[in-house]
Amino acid sequence: MSNKVRVRFAPSPTGMLHLGGLRTALYDYVFAAHNQGNFILRIEDTDRTRFVEGAFENLVGTLEDMGLFYDEGPGKGGPYAPYIQSERLDKYKQVADQLVEQGDAYPCFCSKERLDEIRAVQQQNKEPIKYDGFCRNMSKEEAQKRIEAGEPYVIRLKMPVEGSYNFSDLIRGDVSIEASQIDDQVIIKSDGFPTYHLAAIVDDHLMEISHVLRGEEWLSSTPKHIQIYKAMGWEQPIWVHLPLILNTDKSKLSKRHGDFSVGAFMKKGFLKEALINFVALLGWHPSEDKEIFSLQEMIEDFSFEKVNKAGAVFDMTKLEWMNGMYMRSIPLEELTQRAREWFEEAGIDPGTDEKLARALDTARDYATLMPELVEHSKIYYERPVFEDEQIEILRSDASKTVCRYIIEQLSTKTDWTKDDVGEMVKQGMKALELKGKQYYPPIRLSLIGRTQGPDIPRIVYSLGIEETIERFTKAMEL
Ligand code: GLU
């Protein structure tokens, strides 16, 4: 094997890409980028019963949306194409045949009923659930005869019954698993398709994968995979099992706890930058105690030494906080472009980029999610509708004096800055010899229909001078 870092993200198209998958893909991507290696996308679609319509398109599309571009994979090609397992079936069959030929795997004819029975007994006796080896020592001749007679069969890997598998994992260190705990895994199913355990290993070998990054749930299967490497005389990759993702109550995060697909989070109005930043921290610790960093900074700093083996807790409050941080820090022009669709969806015409940007400049300080931008921008798009007691306030002489004063001042020039507005408003109170209680309510009411909200100069900036004057005029006319 060459020394080049080659990692693969190998999702099954059995559902939409979820945050756990996004984390694996992200670690693959940054690890490859950090080491000038290759990031490969491989689709593991050999389980035909679990295939979900649209999942493939979702996986590929979401990686692209998130900016995790792969070097080799479906649609992109590469020296080890095809990258979709259902198009590589001959390769798995070849290996399975060789394993059987060598005596490292065997055909098994046990019926589902028989297997169910063994399982029931094992369950009752509180024994580990595994195949009892009934077909393990069948002669090749008998097996051949039964295959020719058309009996359905699977192919199982012949695991040693004694000894242990000792291997090293970049995150977990030395791992040891007793061989006796390991099942004679089915590697070819009765429909002729390989299982994950064969297909992934064959492909990782053929595609010269240097590091296998996958979820911790695969750790206990690693001996089966090592067994295939040994039987085939292949060099093992470096194993990297990523920590589980847990709920705040430390239970394993799963669909039962909600929809954790990336798409669902995007639909709620999370930004891709926040999602990436957040999943990065599900296990990994940057060398400086930073919480907010860009993909580029992560690439520079990333290593598995700084990935914890303990389960990583999914903290929704933190994700929301992080999203708010990104809403405030991404360039305003960029936010303006991304916000448009949310306004349109809410039935509000966002107007020109200039108008929208001004509204967002203030609104983003109050929003955590994209739809809240719309909520907090409404005051700049919809004129206030007053209630009776507000009308009473605005009809008072003091209010009219305030509004008239502000209109006069604002009309003296067009190039108002927020500071200028702030200064002018402050001077106004002195000039009119009014108390704050008399002075500020009419201003805020005229502008936004309530007495609480962003600072007056910010409101004026977000509305624009023309609309500001218009609103004071309307209030005076009440
Ligand atoms: N197809 C496997 C899954 O979706 C991939 C595991 C691996 O990365 O090896 O869980």
- What local confidence, expressed as pLDDT, does residue 139 receive? 95
User: Given this model, what pLDDT does residue 261 score?
Assistant: 97
Q: What is the pLDDT tens value at each position of the chain, 478 positions in all?
A: 568 999 999 999 999 999 999 999 999 999 999 999 999 999 999 998 999 999 999 999 999 999 999 999 999 999 999 999 999 999 999 999 999 999 999 999 999 999 999 999 999 999 888 999 999 999 999 999 999 999 999 999 999 999 999 999 999 999 999 998 899 999 999 999 999 999 999 999 999 999 999 999 999 999 999 999 999 999 999 999 999 999 888 888 887 788 999 999 999 999 999 999 999 999 999 998 899 999 999 999 999 999 999 999 999 999 999 999 999 999 999 999 999 999 999 999 999 999 999 999 999 999 999 999 999 999 999 999 999 999 999 999 999 999 999 999 999 999 999 999 999 999 999 999 999 999 999 999 999 999 999 999 999 999 999 999 999 999 999 9
Q: Which atom of ligand 1 is nearest to the CA of 200?
A: 9
| C-alpha–C-alpha distance, residues 380 and 368, integer Å | 19
Predicted confidence at residue 1, as pLDDT, reads: 58
Instruction: Provide φ and ψ at 258, rounded to 5°.
Output: 135, 180
Where do runs of H (alpha helix) occur along 69-218?
89-102, 112-124, 140-148, 196-206
Contact, 75 vs 59, CB < 8 A?
A: no
Structure-token pair, residue 94: 């070849």
Closest CA to 171 of 210, 226, 213: 213
pLDDT in tens, 335-359: 999 999 999 999 999 999 999 999 9
Residue 446 in contact with residue 471, Cβ under 8 Å? yes
Among candidates 130, 139, 57, 82, which has minimal Cα distance to 106?
139
Residue 380, class by beta-carbon neighbours within 10 Å (0-12 exposed, 13-18 middle, 19+ buried)? buried
- At 180 the pLDDT is 86
Q: Which ligand 1 atom lies nearest to the CA of residue 217?
A: 10
Residue nearest to atom 4 of ligand 1 (CA): 11
> What pLDDT score does 289 carry?
87
Residue 130: Cβ-neighbour burial (10 angstroms; 0-12, 13-18, 19+): middle
Judge if the beta carbon of residue 10 lies within 6 A of ligand 1: yes
Annotated active-site residue 255? The verdict is yes
- C-alpha angle 3-8-85 in degrees, rounded to nearest 5: 120
Mutate to test the pocket of ligand 1, among 7, 12, 70 (most ligand atoms within 8 A of CB): 12
Q: Angle at CA 248, nearest 5°, toward 244 and 250?
A: 50
Buried b (16+ CB within 10 A) or exposed e, 36-65: ebbbbbbbbbbbeeeeeeebbebbbebbee
343 burial (CB, 10 Å; 0-12 / 13-18 / 19+) is: buried
Do residues 78 and 41 make contact, with C-beta atoms less than 8 angstroms apart?
Answer: no
- The Cα 354–Cα 356 span in angstroms is 6
Ligand 1 neighbourhood includes 184 CB (under 6 angstroms) = no
Going by alpha carbons, the residue nearest to atom 10 of ligand 1 is: 11
Of 264, 271, 268, 261, the residue nearest 337 (C-alpha): 271
